[in-house]
């Protein structure tokens, strides 16, 4: 069965088609009807944007969608996660939207349950493919093309599945100028397809797109208060720092934001911010992703 586990499993043409379809969903008045498709969301990590946008996306396409309440599921009585999925599958659920803190668990589960389809809604620090697709759609809407863009990513890149997937997605779409700007303690081990400029004011020179990332306290071991204070002083995205970027640069953040840490409210709510556009694009991108998975599994809509 077709899955969406990682951006790097998609090629440029598949991504372009998904973005075009998401854009169409944003503007279509009559939507396709996938009335017999049964979809379940299982979020083992907290979520607002991804969880709700998948729910809305499935509803818009008239799918039968349930969000499994994991606080009251039988896993608390000792049932194995794979058995939970098999039980849902036995009830007719063919498509699973899955978030978990364990990296690559979704890959393992999809190998174990080959007759179901899996969409990765975020696995630990590894990947968040649908976030990347909505980020790419937002960039395309504002910049029309990917060629020649300079993208600066700042924040806790080390612990960020969003950054991993975004760097992969931008590279597939032909963006060659991806600049990371963050202190050593937030730098990933691998820096493929990127350049490093630790001074944010220098990094921002000539930037078309500025991506601010959350400091993910829950993934950092030990006390980070001292680092946070020095981080905020040097790297918080302020109006003054943003003025180093191009005048028409856009500011993105996948959310949830820590206002006053990685970004000021003035920037987050300012004229260059497209943060809430990212959120609304999330629904249309997830409609496109659900349809892509269904169509690639031989499922056609009725209109």
Which residues are at the interface with ligand CP (CB under 6 A)?
47-51, 122, 131, 254-256
If the CB atoms of residues 52 and 187 are measured against ligand CP, the closer one turns out to be 52
Give the CA dihedral 22, 111, 35, 17, nearest 10 degrees: 20
If the CB atoms of residues 47 and 107 are measured against ligand CP, the closer one turns out to be 47
If the CB atoms of residues 129 and 255 are measured against ligand CP, the closer one turns out to be 255
Q: Residue 83 Cβ, how far from ligand CP at the closest point, in Å? A: 26
Q: Residue 35 Cβ, how far from ligand CP at the closest point, in Å? A: 26
Q: Residue 237 Cβ, how far from ligand CP at the closest point, in Å? A: 17
Q: Residue 50 Cβ, how far from ligand CP at the closest point, in Å? A: 3
| Positive or negative: CA dihedral 98, 101, 106, 108 | negative
If the CB atoms of residues 32 and 285 are measured against ligand CP, the closer one turns out to be 285
If the CB atoms of residues 174 and 256 are measured against ligand CP, the closer one turns out to be 256
Q: Residue 130 Cβ, how far from ligand CP at the closest point, in Å? A: 8
If the CB atoms of residues 32 and 153 are measured against ligand CP, the closer one turns out to be 153
Q: Residue 72 burial by CB count (10 A; 0-12/13-18/19+): exposed, middle or buried?
A: exposed
Q: Residue 131 Cβ, how far from ligand CP at the closest point, in Å? A: 5
Neighbouring residues of 160: CB distance < 8 A, sequence distance ≥ 6 = 125, 213, 214, 216
Q: Residue 47 Cβ, how far from ligand CP at the closest point, in Å? A: 3
CA R_g for the chain: 19
Q: Are 285 and 177 in contact (CB under 8 A)?
A: no
d(CA 87, CA 60): 26
Q: Residue 262 Cβ, how far from ligand CP at the closest point, in Å? A: 14
If the CB atoms of residues 32 and 168 are measured against ligand CP, the closer one turns out to be 168
If the CB atoms of residues 32 and 58 are measured against ligand CP, the closer one turns out to be 58
Give the CA dihedral 118, 121, 123, 126, nearest 10 degrees: 100
Query: Token pair for residue 44?
Result: 């083992």
């Amino acid at each position: 069965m077709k899955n969406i586990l990682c951006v790097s499993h998609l090629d440029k043409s598949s991504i372009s088609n998904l973005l075009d379809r998401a854009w169409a969903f944003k503007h279509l008045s009559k939507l396709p009807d996938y009335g017999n498709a049964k979809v379940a969301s299982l979020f083992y990590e907290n979520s607002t944007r991804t969880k709700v946008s998948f729910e809305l996306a499935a509803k818009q396409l008239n799918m039968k969608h349930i969000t499994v309440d994991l606080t009251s599921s039988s896993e608390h009585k000792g049932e194995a996660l794979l058995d939970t999925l098999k039980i849902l599958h036995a009830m007719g659920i063919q498509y699973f939207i899955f978030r978990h803190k364990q990296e690559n668990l979704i890959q393992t589960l999809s190998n174990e349950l080959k007759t179901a389809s899996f969409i990765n809604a975020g696995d630990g620090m590894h990947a968040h493919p649908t976030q990347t697709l909505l980020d790419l759609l937002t960039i395309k809407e504002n910049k029309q093309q990917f060629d020649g863009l300079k993208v600066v990513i700042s924040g806790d890149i080390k612990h960020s599945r969003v950054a991993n997937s975004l760097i992969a997605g931008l590279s597939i779409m032909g963006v060659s100028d991806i600049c990371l700007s963050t202190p050593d303690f937030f730098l990933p081990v691998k820096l493929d397809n990127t350049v490093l400029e630790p001074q944010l004011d220098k990094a921002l020179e000539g930037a078309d797109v500025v991506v601010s990332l959350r400091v993910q306290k829950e993934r950092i071991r030990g006390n980070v208060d001292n680092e946070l204070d020095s981080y905020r002083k040097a790297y918080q995205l302020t109006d003054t720092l943003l003025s180093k970027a191009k005048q028409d640069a856009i500011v993105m953040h996948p959310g949830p934001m820590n206002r006053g840490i990685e970004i000021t409210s003035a920037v987050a709510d300012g004229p260059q911010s497209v943060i809430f556009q990212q959120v609304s694009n999330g629904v249309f991108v997830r409609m496109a992703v659900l349809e892509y998975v269904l169509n690639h599994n031989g499922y056609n809509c009725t209109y």
